[in-house]
Amino acid sequence: MRSLLARVFMRSFLIQGCWNFEGMQNIGFAFGMAPVIEAVSRTKKERIGLLTDHLTYFNSHPYFASAIIGAAASAQLQRGAEAGNEIREIKDTLSNPFAALGDSLFWSTFKPLFSITAIIAAVWGSVLSPVIFLVLYNTVHLWVRGMGFMHGIRGRMDLMRYVKRMEIPNLSIRLKRITIVLLGLLAASLAFFLPLPMVSGESAWLRVVPVVTIFIVGLLIKKGVGILTQIYAFSLIVLLICWLS
């Protein structure tokens, strides 16, 4: 059983491997469920029928999709071919809320937070800044995938209780505040620690670039531009400062 579930979990990483506009992640979902279908089906015709049932529309956040696949696999193993309605209910009930939670937690929170952390490391002279970003981001990403799948296997209700305990909206707000603090630290680093020309020199104007950058970012925030776009714009300005100095 453990080897079977391990195969399902590993296949969940390919949820977007055959993404399409008609069914979104439906082929990836069916691919993840294939080992379970092979275990519960008795004939080739039954196996084809179960796979076809899993090709209905499915779209969620790719990291939280593992949890939904886990809950669907649990229902399939317990009820076999009779689990069709329950699995459709699991997909319909969880896919949209998990998509919203995942977008808020990863695209709008963890990615900007760890991006700024890596940029600060680069400004302070660390050549490992890309590694820092990859380690931090993927540690959280893999933990969410793994724990979500485990709780999904235990059942839909256990999975929902687990997600509720995470308090993702409150967590996102707290982490975004930390991101703003790190953004200020990055501005200070650019203003005082980069080897820019002497203040009395012709290029002294470079000292005001970080302050102007923060002002521009503030305007972007007011206009509703996404925080990830702000970080990418800030990164380009960092590279420009380094090149001009």
Q: What is the pLDDT of residues 20-54, one digit of tens each?
A: 888 899 999 999 999 998 888 888 888 888 888 88
167 and 201 fall within a common domain = no
101 and 204 fall within a common domain = no
Tokens of 213: 């950058």
56 and 163 fall within a common domain = yes
User: Does any domain span residue 178?
Assistant: no
Residue 104 pLDDT? 86
C-alpha closest to that of 234 among 170, 178, 179: 179
73, 5 in Cβ contact below 8 A? yes
86, 79 in Cβ contact below 8 A? yes
120 and 18 fall within a common domain = yes
User: Does any domain span residue 127?
Assistant: yes
Find where tokens 């529309």 sit: 57
61 and 125 fall within a common domain = yes
Q: 137 versus 241: which is more confidently predicted?
A: 137
Distance, CA of 107 to CA of 202 (rounded, Å): 41
83 and 204 fall within a common domain = no
Kindly give, in sequence order, each residue whose CB lies less than 8 Å from that of residue 171, ignoring residues fewer than 6 positions away: 105, 109
Least confident of 10-19, 152-161, 207-216: 207-216
Residue 198 pLDDT? 41
User: Does any domain span residue 185?
Assistant: no
46 and 92 fall within a common domain = yes
From its phi and psi, is residue 32 left (phi > 0), alpha (psi between -120 and 50) or beta? alpha
Work out how many domains the chain is built from and give that number: 2
Residue 149 pLDDT? 93
Distance, CA of 242 to CA of 122 (rounded, Å): 11
Distance, CA of 181 to CA of 129 (rounded, Å): 19
Distance, CA of 210 to CA of 190 (rounded, Å): 6
User: Does any domain span residue 117?
Assistant: yes
* Structure confidence at residue 199 as a pLDDT band (50, 70, 90): very low
27 and 100 fall within a common domain = yes
Distance, CA of 29 to CA of 102 (rounded, Å): 17
108 and 156 fall within a common domain = yes
Q: Dump pLDDT digits (tens) for 80-115.
A: 778 778 888 889 888 998 998 888 888 888 988 898
Find where tokens 């501005």 sit: 187
User: Does any domain span residue 53?
Assistant: yes
Tokens of 178: 């930390």
121 and 231 fall within a common domain = no
User: Does any domain span residue 182?
Assistant: no
60 and 144 fall within a common domain = yes
Q: Dump pLDDT digits (tens) for 74-89.
A: 888 888 778 778 888 8
55 and 130 fall within a common domain = yes
Mean pLDDT of 177-185: 80
For residue 149, the enclosing domain spans 2-171
Mean pLDDT of 176-186: 79
